Structure 1
Amino acid sequence: GDSLFAIAEYHGEQQLIKVDVASGDYERVLGEEDVVNEFDISPDGQVYAIVARPQSPRGIYRLEGENLQPFEIVNRALMADIATGSVEKHSYTAEDGTVLDTFVVLPPNYEEGKRYPGILHTHGGPWAQWDWRFNAESQLFAAQGYVVIMPNFRGSWGYGQAFTDALVGKWGDIDYRDSMDAMDFAIEKGWVDGDRMGVYGWSWGGFLTNHVITKTDRFKAAISGAGETLVVANYGHDEWQRLWAEEPGLPWLEENRDLWDQVSPFYSLDKVTTPTLVVGGEDDWNMPILNSEQLYLVLRRRGIPTQLVVYPGQGHSLSVPSYERDLYERYRDWFGQYLVN
């Protein structure tokens, strides 16, 4: 054909675009607050897409003209009686002048002028981005009365190759500083009480959380999910062997050793004072559980309040409903203990 359809990430959107094969020009078919997860086109040209929105989980929609019409919304009845927090996207300026985006999820009954306990929710990847899709975890915290801050720090996708490459060789550095600037922005806007803040994330978000707690004591509690601690310990074991050879480079070569040490939170765990819940899956080959065990053991030996929860038979994400419920209850209780009670 003369054109093709594709999903593209762009500045906190996940769009469906149509590309002219000959010229390379493209037009946006779906985007903004409609986050396209998957799509298909019938033989007669009808576009169907799985779409998520800020206040609604994924559903199947049919594109009619320029309008999306519901085709099958599985969770409609479930969500009908659930109050969700409003989701906003804001731009803020990092310390070095770079303009960045952050999503903000407000409590369902948010009152203008009132400061709320705040949670920094760091995304995984780092080759990913926060976007407009329904985020169950952030909505869970918003329902508990928190303002959730979700920055697209440098290294995220959707902002161009240079933006993504800015994190190369600077793991736990530029992403950390961009995230701190996002929290400063939230305090300046009057949303967040700077004396009642927590930080958490999963995968790269857990890794970044581990860096955060070694660099600042401004957070009263942290949750590290499936993160990394002593990075070199993953060499030869996890699924990232090609990446390790490229960045930080082969670990036995003397010229690479400083970078391996620099990107490892392990060597700065003596600075941590933040109570930290550590969680992960027993069979995780992406971010092996040994990283969580290392973090927990150091904090426990140093007398820092901590717990380690390992979910049996689980990989990089949890698939057993009772485990997911247990995880979210632990999230709620951990932050409730240190940020509310």
Structure 2
Amino acid sequence: MTQITDRFGPDFSPKVSPDKTKIAFLGYDDKFLGYQQNSLYVMDIDGDNVQVISQGFDRNISNITWRGDGKIIYFQYDSEGMTRIASITLSGKVKDIVDELGGLSLGRPYSGASYTISKSGRYAFTYGNVHNPADLASGFNGAKRRITDLNKDLFDYKTLGKVEEVWYESSYDKKRIQGWLVYPPNFDSSKKYPLVLEIHGGPFTNYGFRFTAECQLFASKGYFVLYTNPRGSTSYGKDFANLIHHNYPSQDYDDLMSGVDHIVERDYIDGDNLFVTGGSGGGVLTSWIVGKTDRFNAAVVAKPVINWYSFVLYADNISFFYKYWFKGMPWNNLEEYMRRSPISYVGNVKTPTMLLTGEDDYRTPMAESEQFYAGLKLNKVESMLVRIPGASHGIAARPSNLIAKVNAITAWFDKYKK
């Protein structure tokens, strides 16, 4: 075995060219940033003449495949909440091929898709959008043909809520923020509707133009649902994602509040019936929000980090978080860890708050939720802790848990609707 790359940073996903003379691979120089974006490299088969061919392409590249003639490399990427297949020449010219690669998360509209492509350029991929969970499609030269319609028997007698793309400016620095608004089915513009702000996790991930069972279920119960990509989200380039480097939570809060402000201007949104929820990183931001404002009638904090000091010492990747998300060990940076911890603001909370976490969650352990719940109880805030037996960080991995989660959230919100 011979080592052929040696930089400080990961090199991975090597793919040998059809003529066996070159290797394409992904990687980046590790700079200990919260978000580090893959670039695409090509080198000779012996490791010489390494060249980055994606220079200037400011999106994360994945799933690379050579074309049969060795002149083109296909790849997958996210941009502004849309997943695409594209091609790149060895000189770095990028061309989009097809979009609407479906996210494989059923519950929430996360990115994540899969494709294969033949030597001649014909492709098959997971096809999905706001109207349907991922199905299988195929195509050639930009076309797409849906092959499966696995949920037709369901959607033939279910009415989905319309999904509208929205853009607005952050009150913090006027950066443009993208989001999507899910309407209740059979929407009537003469009526007033409550609004749920649903926040993604990560934080270095993205929501997008993808199906979301959870948001559609909220909508089916009469709520508008706003989901957005605040700063820190991927699919907008590395600088946008790293606006929260060593600064999370921070102005992502302003991005989210600006989104709510933007939507409540509509006549049919009831500004007196606002609700907020999110899981994982979204749970962090939900617990942060209720410590900063009492504009929401109720909140549901799912699988959160509440105390960064404790989290970095017992979560499932203790060698990572203190090094990439903070400047160092917690005992050397106590003020910084606690400044960014929602537990530090629990004394401000007046919003009725439910916590909801799996008992087998090793990413955001149950003790995080227990800390916040205890603080809320000591502060005499109406609160509830829901413990889900046998559930890990992916609470909705079991469909029954997804339904139970949505029912618990909407029951809590319904209780505090005016």
The normalised TM-score by structure 2 is 0.77
**1:77-127 CA distances to partner (integer Å, 9 max, x unpaired)?**
122211001111111011122111111111111223543100001011111
Quote the Cα distance in structure 1 between the aligned partners of 2:284 and 2:399.
Answer: 25
1:2 counterpart letter in structure 2: K
Higher mean C-alpha deviation, range 133-142 or range 36-45:
36-45
Quote the Cα distance in structure 2 between the aligned partners of 1:253 and 1:334.
Answer: 38
Alpha-carbon deviation of 1:253?
4.6
**Given that residues 306 and 343 in structure 2 are in contact (C-alpha distance below 8 angstroms), is that contact kept between their aligned partners in structure 1?**
yes
Higher mean C-alpha deviation, range 273-282 or range 22-31:
22-31
Listed as ranges, the gaps of 5+ residues in structure 1 are none
2:124 counterpart letter in structure 1: Y
Question: What is aligned with 1:109?
Answer: 186
Quote the Cα distance in structure 1 between the aligned partners of 2:121 and 2:162.
Answer: 35
Quote the Cα distance in structure 1 between the aligned partners of 2:122 and 2:391.
Answer: 39
Higher mean C-alpha deviation, range 245-254 or range 123-132:
245-254
Alpha-carbon deviation of 1:296?
1.2
SS of structure 2 residue aligned to 1:218: coil
Alignment of 1:311-326 (within 5 A): 311-318=388-395, 319-326=397-404
Alpha-carbon deviation of 1:240?
3.5
Question: What is aligned with 1:51?
Answer: 127
Higher mean C-alpha deviation, range 201-210 or range 239-248:
239-248
**Given that residues 275 and 298 in structure 2 are in contact (C-alpha distance below 8 angstroms), is that contact kept between their aligned partners in structure 1?**
yes
Question: What is aligned with 1:123?
Answer: 200
SS of structure 2 residue aligned to 1:101: strand
Alignment of 1:176-191 (within 5 A): 176-191=253-268
Q: Does 1:4 align with 2:81?
A: no
Question: What is aligned with 1:238?
Answer: 315
CA separation of 1:191 and 1:154: change in aligned 2, threshold 3 A = farther
Question: What is aligned with 1:215?
Answer: 292
Quote the Cα distance in structure 1 between the aligned partners of 2:190 and 2:170.
Answer: 24
Alpha-carbon deviation of 1:191?
4.5
**Given that residues 33 and 54 in structure 1 are in contact (C-alpha distance below 8 angstroms), is that contact kept between their aligned partners in structure 2?**
no
Question: What is aligned with 1:27?
Answer: 95
Question: What is aligned with 2:34?
Answer: none
Quote the Cα distance in structure 1 between the aligned partners of 2:368 and 2:158.
Answer: 37
1:15 to 84, 107, 110: 84
SS of structure 2 residue aligned to 1:228: coil
Alpha-carbon deviation of 1:222?
0.4
Quote the Cα distance in structure 1 between the aligned partners of 2:120 and 2:175.
Answer: 46
CA separation of 1:284 and 1:148: change in aligned 2, threshold 3 A = same
**Given that residues 103 and 149 in structure 1 are in contact (C-alpha distance below 8 angstroms), is that contact kept between their aligned partners in structure 2?**
yes
Quote the Cα distance in structure 1 between the aligned partners of 2:316 and 2:355.
Answer: 21
1:133 to 206, 210, 223: 210
CA separation of 1:92 and 1:191: change in aligned 2, threshold 3 A = farther
2:134 counterpart letter in structure 1: R
SS of structure 1 residue aligned to 2:417: helix
Quote the Cα distance in structure 2 between the aligned partners of 1:147 and 1:191.
Answer: 10
Listed as ranges, the gaps of 5+ residues in structure 2 are 1-69, 104-111
1:310 to 380, 387, 390: 387
Q: Does 1:332 align with 2:410?
A: yes
Quote the Cα distance in structure 1 between the aligned partners of 2:372 and 2:407.
Answer: 21
**1:191-249 CA distances to partner (integer Å, 9 max, x unpaired)?**
52211000000110011001000000000010111011111111221123212123323
RMSD: 1.8
2:99 counterpart letter in structure 1: G
Q: Does 1:285 align with 2:372?
A: no
2:139 to 47, 56, 63: 63
Alpha-carbon deviation of 1:177?
0.8
Question: What is aligned with 1:41?
Answer: 117
CA separation of 1:81 and 1:239: change in aligned 2, threshold 3 A = same
**Given that residues 309 and 330 in structure 2 are in contact (C-alpha distance below 8 angstroms), is that contact kept between their aligned partners in structure 1?**
no
**Given that residues 169 and 259 in structure 1 are in contact (C-alpha distance below 8 angstroms), is that contact kept between their aligned partners in structure 2?**
no
Quote the Cα distance in structure 1 between the aligned partners of 2:191 and 2:85.
Answer: 38
**Given that residues 107 and 144 in structure 1 are in contact (C-alpha distance below 8 angstroms), is that contact kept between their aligned partners in structure 2?**
yes
Quote the Cα distance in structure 2 between the aligned partners of 1:263 and 1:294.
Answer: 15
Alpha-carbon deviation of 1:67?
2.9
Quote the Cα distance in structure 1 between the aligned partners of 2:236 and 2:121.
Answer: 31
Alpha-carbon deviation of 1:32?
5.8
**Given that residues 354 and 383 in structure 2 are in contact (C-alpha distance below 8 angstroms), is that contact kept between their aligned partners in structure 1?**
yes
Question: What is aligned with 2:64?
Answer: none
**Given that residues 128 and 156 in structure 1 are in contact (C-alpha distance below 8 angstroms), is that contact kept between their aligned partners in structure 2?**
yes
SS of structure 2 residue aligned to 1:40: strand
Quote the Cα distance in structure 1 between the aligned partners of 2:263 and 2:291.
Answer: 22
Quote the Cα distance in structure 2 between the aligned partners of 1:330 and 1:156.
Answer: 27
Q: Does 1:73 align with 2:149?
A: yes
The structure richer in helix per residue is: 1
2:130 counterpart letter in structure 1: P
**1:252-296 CA distances to partner (integer Å, 9 max, x unpaired)?**
453x22210111010110110111111111111111111111111
**1:165-197 CA distances to partner (integer Å, 9 max, x unpaired)?**
111232122111100000000012335221100
SS of structure 2 residue aligned to 1:85: coil
Quote the Cα distance in structure 1 between the aligned partners of 2:235 and 2:131.
Answer: 22
CA separation of 1:86 and 1:172: change in aligned 2, threshold 3 A = same
